[in-house]
């Protein structure tokens, strides 16, 4: 389940998060355990054919590059487009196909700490800071660390650069009754120019549906509030997810 809380009170001088491109339709599908398998059936063959075409394209680029080793910038642009398109197909497949989880009991703080420096570097490169806010006591529970951390990596890359230079992003985690919860909070963005895009390519914009899908597989939910900046809360049962979703 995804819950969205929005408010017009954000003000005209701010730039709230918008869902565009594939974000909006995939947002709904990712959290619905019935719609996700249906979309997988519809797009499965398409994604398979798309990957085959992309592999053929990559081979053609490789052979053409060997025959014409000039103008390296042109080949770099073509290769970048290829990898972005491939990444987009992979992300759509991640959202749609059944997910097999490998959950384990662990300290949530240790899992996040392992990625802390990489996320700090990602944000510092665009003039932002990561404010780390751990709980007073360790928070333990069941989670598939590989799946969740990979989705969080994509989210951080998506959000890096969307805030104001010098702003801080706060990451916190805690136990809420029988659940684990991770919160990502950003301040309001003032006077942001429309059309500014992150450096990571359009595929990074699928970070939100991907997170929602991973949370749905864990039996959890995502709550996105945009009334006072941006606050994304990921919440799932401590006792562990089902084996598949």
Share of the chain above pLDDT 90, in %: 35
pLDDT 10s digits, 117-155: 999 999 999 999 999 999 999 999 999 999 999 999 999
- pLDDT-based confidence at residue 206 (cuts at 50, 70, 90): confident
Mean pLDDT, rounded, for 86-114: 87
Angle at 44 between CA 36 and CA 232, to 5 degrees: 35
Residue carrying the six token digits 């995939």: 26
Which letter, b or e, does each residue of 145-161 get, where b requires 16 or more Cβ atoms within 10 Å of its Cβ? Answer: bebbbebbebbbbbbbb
- pLDDT-based confidence at residue 187 (cuts at 50, 70, 90): confident
Higher pLDDT residue, 73 or 158?
158
d(CA 69, CA 197): 31
User: Residue 107 has which token pair?
Assistant: 């300290």
d(CA 163, CA 160): 7
As a whole number of angstroms, the longest Cα–Cα distance in the chain is 63
Enumerate the domain spans of the chain: 2-27+101-237, 35-96
- Tell me what pLDDT residue 232 has: 92
pLDDT 10s digits, 2-47: 444 443 333 333 444 555 556 656 766 776 767 767 777 777 777 7
Q: What is the CA radius of gyration of the chain?
A: 19
Question: 2-27+101-237, what's its fold?
Answer: Heat Shock Protein 90 (3.30.565)
Secondary structure (H, E, C), 177-232: CCEEEEEEEECCCECCCCCCCCCCCHHHHHHHHHHHHHHHHCCCEEEEECCCCEEE
Q: Look up residue 234 and give its DSSP letter.
A: E
For residue 132, the tally of other CB atoms under 10 A from its CB is: 16
Higher pLDDT residue, 13 or 104?
104
d(CA 16, CA 244): 34
């Amino acid at each position: 389940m995804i819950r969205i809380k929005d408010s017009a009170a954000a003000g005209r001088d701010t730039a709230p998060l918008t869902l565009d491109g594939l974000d909006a339709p995939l947002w709904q599908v990712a959290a619905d355990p019935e719609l996700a398998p249906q979309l997988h059936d519809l797009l499965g063959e398409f994604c398979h054919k798309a990957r085959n075409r992309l592999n053929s394209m990559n081979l053609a680029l490789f052979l053409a590059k060997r025959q014409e080793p000039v103008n390296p910038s042109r080949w770099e642009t073509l290769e970048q487009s290829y990898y972005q398109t491939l990444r987009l197909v992979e992300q759509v497949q991640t959202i749609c196909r059944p997910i097999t989880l490998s959950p384990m009991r662990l300290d949530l703080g240790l899992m996040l700490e392992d990625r802390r420096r990489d996320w700090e570097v990602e944000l510092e490169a665009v003039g932002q800071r990561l404010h780390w806010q751990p709980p007073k006591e360790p928070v333990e529970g069941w989670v598939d660390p590989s799946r969740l951390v990979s989705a969080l990596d994509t989210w951080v890359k998506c959000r890096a650069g969307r805030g104001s230079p010098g702003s801080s992003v706060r990451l916190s985690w805690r136990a809420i009754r029988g659940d684990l919860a991770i919160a990502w909070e950003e301040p309001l963005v003032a006077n942001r120019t429309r059309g500014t895009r992150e450096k990571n390519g359009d595929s990074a914009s699928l970070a939100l549906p991907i997170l929602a899908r991973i949370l749905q597989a864990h039996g959890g939910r995502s709550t996105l509030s945009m009334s006072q900046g941006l606050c994304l809360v990921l919440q799932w049962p401590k006792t562990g997810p089902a084996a598949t979703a």
